[in-house]
């Protein structure tokens, strides 16, 4: 089963629990924070057998039961974060909370997902038909791993204060990876539960999906710049290692997207579909269909950013949408 113990102590009252994922990005970090009467869980994992087995090991290690989790806070609606929320409730855990926009997206994406709509979205941006079918099917099997869904989801408004035990966290809106992603800042301890907003080694996927509000990359970059002013000793992310150089990593992410915008602009120099541009921007040799949809959505987010700033324009020729440089 899981060779390394899944639980890592972060502080007296905070534990990281790392769970397996059946994707190229093969794990997610969740966090248990001790409360006055029990525990608050931040993010949950994807509901598949390896994850449930890992939770069992983690609970044995911590001498806890799921019923001692009195509250679950989800940073965003993506399957690896949302997926086990309903399972936890079926095991006796307490209420699930999300930001208003993430709650809305959880319903849109996990309950109203249509393989057909997703197919036509990807096809319009130039994805070949064989790949579209595999990608859309992959989406359906991932969606299945978010069941059961929590019957009721409460809301935490960004800007409000969330008290967990002795800690007071400010809920901050951190859009880009998902429209309403919510991260939690404990100013006393200079600690940030940072979701997938800022990650080490990999850059969070910034994608324009069928349900995404306009210009996700613009909103992401703006949010990153505003977070440069926060004093953060330790960032606790949804994937990979903890963040010890908060500002340094933000600067790297800003530079990364600056470079990628240049590559994306070059990729459409002669006019290209999003799919054709993503072939040039990414090293696609090793991509699984699951990674392909992220590459497409990410390329589209960069093109939409350039379009909004008047650097590229779109042309509809036949079935597919073509992006071309302006001027
Ligand atoms: Zn994630």
Average pLDDT over residues 40-54: 97
User: Model's pTM, two decimal places?
Assistant: 0.95
Q: How far is the CA of 193 from the centre of ligand 1 (A)?
A: 13
Bigger pLDDT: 182 vs 142: 182
Average pLDDT over residues 224-253: 98
Angle between helices 274-281 and 246-267 (to 10 degrees): 120
- CB contact set of 95 (below 8 Å; sequence gap of 6+): 71, 72, 152, 154
CA 208/CA 106 separation, integer angstroms: 16
Q: How far is the CA of 290 from the centre of ligand 1 (A)?
A: 14
Q: How far is the CA of 81 from the centre of ligand 1 (A)?
A: 6
How does residue 306 score in pLDDT terms, banded at 50, 70 and 90?
A: very high
Q: How far is the CA of 28 from the centre of ligand 1 (A)?
A: 6
At 2 the pLDDT is 45
What CATH number belongs to 7-266? 3.60.15.10
Average pLDDT over residues 122-135: 90
Q: How far is the CA of 310 from the centre of ligand 1 (A)?
A: 32
Query: What backbone torsions phi and psi does residue 283 show, to the nearest 5 degrees?
Result: -80, 95
Q: How far is the CA of 51 from the centre of ligand 1 (A)?
A: 14
Q: How far is the CA of 286 from the centre of ligand 1 (A)?
A: 21
Give 153-180 pLDDT, tens digit per residue.
999 999 999 999 999 999 999 999 999 9
- CB contact set of 125 (below 8 Å; sequence gap of 6+): 273, 274, 275, 296, 300, 320, 321
Does residue 313 contact residue 319 with C-beta atoms inside 8 Å?
Answer: no
Angle between helices 129-144 and 115-124 (to 10 degrees): 140
Q: How far is the CA of 322 from the centre of ligand 1 (A)?
A: 30
pLDDT above 80 for 42? yes
Q: How far is the CA of 114 from the centre of ligand 1 (A)?
A: 22
SS3 of 43-81: the string is CCCCCCHHHHHHHHHHHHHHCCCHHHEEEEECCCCCHHH
Q: How far is the CA of 269 from the centre of ligand 1 (A)?
A: 33
Q: How far is the CA of 80 from the centre of ligand 1 (A)?
A: 6
What percent of the chain shows pLDDT beyond 70? 99
Average pLDDT, the chain: 94
Strand order in the sheet with 39-42: 7-11, 14-20, 27-34, 39-42, 69-73, 95-98, 153-155
Q: How far is the CA of 230 from the centre of ligand 1 (A)?
A: 22
pLDDT above 80 for 20? yes
Domain residues of the chain, as ranges? Answer: 7-266
Q: How far is the CA of 61 from the centre of ligand 1 (A)?
A: 24
Q: How wide is the angle at C-alpha 12 spanned by C-alphas 6 and 18, nearest 5°?
A: 15
At 3 the pLDDT is 57
């Amino acid at each position: 089963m899981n060779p390394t113990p899944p639980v890592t102590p972060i502080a007296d009252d905070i534990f990281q629990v790392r769970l397996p994922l059946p994707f190229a990005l093969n794990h997610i970090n969740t966090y248990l924070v001790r409360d006055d009467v029990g525990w608050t869980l931040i993010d949950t994992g994807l509901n598949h057998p390896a994850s449930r087995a890992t939770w069992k090991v983690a609970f044995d290690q911590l001498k806890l039961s799921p019923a001692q989790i009195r509250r679950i806070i989800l940073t965003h609606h993506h399957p690896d974060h949302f997926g086990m929320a309903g399972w936890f409730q079926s095991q006796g855990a307490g209420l699930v909370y999300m930001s208003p926009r993430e709650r809305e997206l959880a319903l849109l994406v996990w309950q109203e997902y249509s393989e057909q709509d997703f197919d036509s979205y990807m096809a319009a941006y130039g994805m070949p038909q064989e790949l579209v079918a595999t990608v859309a099917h992959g989406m359906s099997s991932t969606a299945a791993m978010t069941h059961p869904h929590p019957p009721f989801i409460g809301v935490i408004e960004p800007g409000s204060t969330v008290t967990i035990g002795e800690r007071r966290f400010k809920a901050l809106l951190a859009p880009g990876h998902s429209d309403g992603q919510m991260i939690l800042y404990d100013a006393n301890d200079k600690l940030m539960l940072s979701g997938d907003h800022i990650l080490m080694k990999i850059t969070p996927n910034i994608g324009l999906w069928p349900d995404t509000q306009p210009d996700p990359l613009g909103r992401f970059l703006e949010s990153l710049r505003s977070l440069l002013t926060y004093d953060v000793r330790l960032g606790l992310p949804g994937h990979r290692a903890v963040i010890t150089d908060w500002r340094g990593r933000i600067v790297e992410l800003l530079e990364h997207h600056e470079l990628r915008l240049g590559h994306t602009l070059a990729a459409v120099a002669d006019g290209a579909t999003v799919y054709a541009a993503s072939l040039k921007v990414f090293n696609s040799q090793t991509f699984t269909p699951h990674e392909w949809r992220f590459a497409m959505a990410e390329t589209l987010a960069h093109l939409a950013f350039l379009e909004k700033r008047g650097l590229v324009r779109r042309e509809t020729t036949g079935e597919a949408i073509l992006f071309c440089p302006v001027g």
